[in-house]
């Protein structure tokens, strides 16, 4: 009897089925697990949100920010030194007839000669702008934002230097202006950098581009 069973073969047992062959229910459960894992990773059409990396991409633009700021600041400082040395107490120099002149003016107010009675307040505002830009630089990944903030920082530093070191006193110094278009206020390169940087910031904000390089849509 035992010999007959050996020749014919014994029926499959659960233990015997587990060696070298996968049970149907195990294969089905594995397929379900794989399917659920794939859907969990954000497969389209499953209703699950797709996993995204929320961190900014690219590299920081701190170097660009400070390079632009340094260039704008140096250019403003050099031109003011030349104006004070060569143009102050001298007749204006006509560049384009009466439409554009170089004329040395001491301005105690804000950009373009506004608010001369609030020199100290404008000095504090300029200092606050510099601090804010310096703090924002830590999360700056956008190149256009680096250019805009660099111009803003360089212009603010240029006029703040005049406020601190020029007469009549510390934090009350008059800014040197010299670009005098016809029918317009006299200004300097620092004012121009501030205005250009401000315009660029407004455009970037309208486009939804943030300083960290991400784009948002309202």
User: How wide is the angle at C-alpha 135 spanned by C-alphas 133 and 137, nearest 5°?
Assistant: 70
Cα–Cα distance for residue pair 93/104, rounded to 1 Å? 10
Q: How far apart are the first and last CA of the chain?
A: 84
Residue reference for tokens 């920082």: 153
Enumerate helices (H) and strands (E) in the chain, giving the number of each. 7, 3
Active-site amino acid positions:
177, 191
Cα–Cα distance for residue pair 68/58, rounded to 1 Å? 19
Nearest to 119 by CA among 73, 77, 80, 174: 174
Q: Dihedral of CA 143/146/151/154: which sign?
A: negative
Exposed (0-12), middle (13-18) or buried (19+): which is 180, by Cβ within 10 Å?
Answer: buried
């Amino acid at each position: 009897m035992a010999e007959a069973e050996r020749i014919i073969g014994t029926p499959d047992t659960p233990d015997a089925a587990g060696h070298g062959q996968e049970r149907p229910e195990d294969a089905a459960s594995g397929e379900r697990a794989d399917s659920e894992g794939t859907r969990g990773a954000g497969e389209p059409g499953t209703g699950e949100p797709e996993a995204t990396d929320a961190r900014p991409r690219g590299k920081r633009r701190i170097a660009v920010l400070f390079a632009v700021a340094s260039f704008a600041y140096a250019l403003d400082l050099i031109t003011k030194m030349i104006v004070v040395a060569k143009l102050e107490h001298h007749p204006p120099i006509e560049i384009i007839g009466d439409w554009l002149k170089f004329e040395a003016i001491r301005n105690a107010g804000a950009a373009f000669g506004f608010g001369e009675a609030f020199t100290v307040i404008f000095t504090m505002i300029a200092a606050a702008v510099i601090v804010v830009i310096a703090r924002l630089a830590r999360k700056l990944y956008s190149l256009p934002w680096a250019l805009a903030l660099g111009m803003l920082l360089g212009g603010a530093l240029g006029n703040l230097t005049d406020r601190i070191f020029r007469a009549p006193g510390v934090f009350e110094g008059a800014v040197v202006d010299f670009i005098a278009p016809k029918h317009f206020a006299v200004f300097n390169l620092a004012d121009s950098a501030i205005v250009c940087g401000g315009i660029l910031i407004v455009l970037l904000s309208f486009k939804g581009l943030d300083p960290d390089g991400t784009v948002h849509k309202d």
